[in-house]
Amino acid sequence: MKIKKFRYEMEIISPTVVTSGNNINGFELIYDRRNDKVYVMNIMKLIKNSRRYIDAFFTFDYNSRDFRLENKLKEIGINNYLNYVKYELSLNGTSFKPNSIKEITKTSGKPYIPGSTIKGAIRSSLTRVLNRENDYKISLDETARRSNEIRNPEKQADNKAEERIFGSPNNSPFRLLRISDTETKDYSDLELYDVKVMNICNNRVKWYTRSGNVDNIEGATSIYVEAFKEGTILKGQLSQGFFETFKNINIAKREIESIDTVEGIVNKIRNDIDLYIDKEIEFYSNYHVDELVSFYRKLKSMQQQLRPNEFIIQIGFSTGYLPKTVVRNIDSRFIIKLQQIYRGRIYNDLFPKTRKIIIKNGKIYKPLGWVKIRLIES
Mean local confidence (pLDDT), 341-368: 81
Residues 271 and 373 in one domain: yes
Residues 34 and 156 in one domain: no
Q: Residue 37: CB partners within 8 Å, gap ≥ 6?
A: 88, 89, 90, 91
CA distances 328 to 113, 131, 138, 158, Å, are: 26, 9, 15, 15
Q: Which pLDDT value is given to residue 227?
A: 98
Mean local confidence (pLDDT), 166-175: 74
> Is 339 within a domain?
no
Judge whether residue 7 has pLDDT over 90: yes
Residues 143 and 233 in one domain: yes
> Is 359 within a domain?
no
Residues 134 and 33 in one domain: no
Kindly report the average pLDDT of the chain as a whole number: 84
Last residue of a domain, one of 99, 127, 143: 99
Residues 88 and 230 in one domain: no
Judge whether residue 2 has pLDDT over 90: no
Mean local confidence (pLDDT), 348-355: 73
> Is 343 within a domain?
no
Size of the chain in residues: 378
Q: Which pLDDT value is given to residue 78?
A: 80
Q: Which pLDDT value is given to residue 372?
A: 98
Last residue of a domain, one of 99, 126, 152: 99
Residues 88 and 121 in one domain: no
Angle at 193 between CA 66 and CA 25, to 5 degrees: 40
Which string of DSSP letters, residue by residue, matches 17-78?
--EEEEEE-GGGEEEETTTTEEEEE-HHHHHHH-HHHHHHHTT--TT-TT--HHHHHHHTT-
Distance from first CA to last CA of the chain, Å, rounded? 16
pLDDT class of 376 with cuts at 50, 70, 90: very high
Residues 187 and 286 in one domain: yes
Q: Which pLDDT value is given to residue 24?
A: 95
Surface-to-core class of residue 247, CB atoms within 10 Å of its CB (0-12 exposed, 13-18 middle, 19+ buried): middle
Residues 159 and 273 in one domain: yes
> Is 226 within a domain?
yes
CA–CA gap between residue 240 and residue 208 (Å, rounded): 43
Q: Which pLDDT value is given to residue 252?
A: 40
> Is 323 within a domain?
yes
CA distances 83 to 45, 77, 277, 338, Å, are: 9, 14, 46, 52
Judge whether residue 213 has pLDDT over 90: yes
Q: What percent of the chain has pLDDT over 90?
A: 51
Q: Which pLDDT value is given to residue 361?
A: 95
Residues 255 and 125 in one domain: yes
**Domains: count for the chain:** 2
pLDDT class of 9 with cuts at 50, 70, 90: very high
Judge whether residue 18 has pLDDT over 50: yes
> Is 85 within a domain?
yes
Q: Which pLDDT value is given to residue 142?
A: 75
Residues 239 and 125 in one domain: yes
> Is 216 within a domain?
no
What is the residue range of 308's domain?
A: 4-18+110-195+221-330+366-377
H or E, element range at 118? helix 115-129
Residues 141 and 61 in one domain: no
Residues 317 and 182 in one domain: yes
Q: Which pLDDT value is given to residue 253?
A: 41
Q: What is the pLDDT of residues 245-277, one digit of tens each?
A: 455 555 444 555 555 556 688 999 999 999 999
CA–CA gap between residue 144 and residue 3 (Å, rounded): 41
H or E, element range at 242? none
Judge whether residue 193 has pLDDT over 70: yes
Q: Which pLDDT value is given to residue 262?
A: 61
* Least trusted range by pLDDT, from 84-93, 222-231, 344-353: 344-353
Q: Which pLDDT value is given to residue 85?
A: 94
> Is 214 within a domain?
no
Last residue of a domain, one of 50, 76, 99: 99
Q: What is the pLDDT of residues 270-323, one digit of tens each?
A: 999 999 999 999 999 999 999 999 999 999 999 999 999 999 999 998 776 666
Pairing relation of β-strands 4-12 and 233-240?
antiparallel
pTM, to two decimals: 0.87
* Least trusted range by pLDDT, from 16-20, 146-150, 212-216: 146-150
